[in-house]
């Protein structure tokens, strides 16, 4: 336990699943070290190497993305021109004018962040994705919005002011932008090492203050009812696979009745914990 990252241990220490989950946001000051995650120098170095490629990164300013061609360029790969690679000069020009650089799915290519994410996944029955938001001073990358997932955010460098809209009429399980921007109920500034939990569907907006801000966000997506149904059918097929594949040799209506009876019997004995585990494993294995 002692070697686990403090961000993963925080989930147990604050009883995230019991006290906060789907109930209220939680701000935990100085709860996570920032060393070893990612820093501004590493991001600038990634720009200069030219290996970043859209859609693993994009630019946003007040919710608007420039044309992809306005911040990318083609590179010669095995004798062919391949579009979408980061253009450092153009990106820095956009950053200077207030655009945020969003880097997506870091778990695919950044080992330290992937390692922390795997530790968090051991505690949460959900699919996680990691994102970086690199925002210039007094700039806002995204308009007030709701995410379709829970959010766990870590401020790595600089400061960011968050506004939360957690009144009942503002919360919606669906992601979206239809937020009453003048009715925020909480505001606070996150500084390096601060951690924020936001429940699924709570509207929010974040603006860099005092200088360049860098924060890491994990989206935490639980299985939907449809995911659980698909998991149920996978388990049912595994349990009854032999005769489901071969059939009973009976009339179609009789086979339908037999399947119905078998499924109802399976429902009575299926383990709900295994149902969730199967759905989560499928989500984590899927290729997006």
In this predicted structure, what is the pLDDT of residue 199? 94
Domain boundaries along the sequence of the chain: 6-221, 225-285
In this predicted structure, what is the pLDDT of residue 259? 86
In this predicted structure, what is the pLDDT of residue 247? 66
pLDDT tens string 152-204:
999 999 999 999 988 776 767 667 667 777 777 899 999 999 999 999 989 99
pLDDT tens string 139-162:
999 998 989 899 999 999 999 999
Q: What are the distances in angstroms from CA 125 to CA 77, 150, 226, 281, 283? A: 40, 12, 16, 9, 10
In this predicted structure, what is the pLDDT of residue 50? 80
Counting as low any pLDDT under 70, the low residues of the chain are: 1-2, 169, 171, 173-174, 176-177, 243, 245, 247-249, 286-288
Question: Which of helix, strand or coil describes residue 150?
Answer: strand
Q: What is the CATH number of domain 6-221?
A: 2.60.120.650
H or E element that contains 130: strand 127-135
DSSP annotation string for 186-210: EEEEE-TT-EEEE-TT--EEEEEEE
Sign of the torsion formed by the C-alpha atoms of 173, 26, 8 and 100: positive
CB 161 within 8 A of CB 206: yes
The C-alpha atoms of residue 56 and residue 67 are separated, in whole angstroms, by 15
Sign of the torsion formed by the C-alpha atoms of 50, 51, 54 and 55: negative
């Amino acid at each position: 336990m002692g070697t686990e990252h403090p961000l993963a241990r925080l989930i147990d220490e604050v009883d995230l699943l019991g006290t906060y989950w789907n109930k209220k946001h939680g701000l935990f000051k100085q709860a996570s070290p920032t060393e070893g995650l990612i820093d501004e120098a590493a991001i600038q170095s990634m720009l200069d190497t030219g290996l970043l490629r859209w859609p693993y990164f994009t630019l946003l300013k007040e919710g608007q993305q420039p044309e992809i061609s306005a911040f990318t360029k083609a590179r010669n790969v095995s004798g062919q021109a391949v579009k979408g690679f980061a253009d450092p000069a153009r990106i820095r020009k956009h950053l200077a004018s207030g655009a945020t650089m969003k880097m997506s799915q870091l778990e695919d290519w950044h080992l330290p962040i992937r390692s922390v994410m795997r530790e968090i996944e051991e505690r949460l029955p959900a699919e996680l994705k990691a994102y970086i938001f690199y925002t210039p001073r007094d700039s806002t990358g995204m308009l007030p919005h709701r995410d379709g997932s829970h959010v766990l955010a870590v401020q790595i460098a600089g400061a960011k002011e968050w506004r939360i809209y957690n009144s009942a009429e503002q919360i919606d399980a669906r992601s979206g932008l239809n937020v009453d921007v003048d009715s925020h109920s909480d505001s606070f500034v996150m500084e390096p090492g601060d951690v924020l939990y936001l429940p699924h569907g709570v509207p929010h907006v974040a603006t860099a203050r005092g200088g360049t801000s860098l924060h890491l966000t994990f989206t935490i997506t639980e299985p939907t009812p449809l995911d659980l149904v698909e998991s149920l059918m996978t388990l049912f097929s595994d349990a009854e696979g032999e005769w489901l594949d071969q059939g009973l040799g009976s009339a179609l209506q009789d086979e339908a009745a037999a399947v119905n009876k078998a499924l109802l019997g399976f429902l009575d004995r299926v383990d709900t914990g295994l149902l969730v585990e199967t759905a989560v494993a499928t989500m984590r294995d899927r290729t997006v």
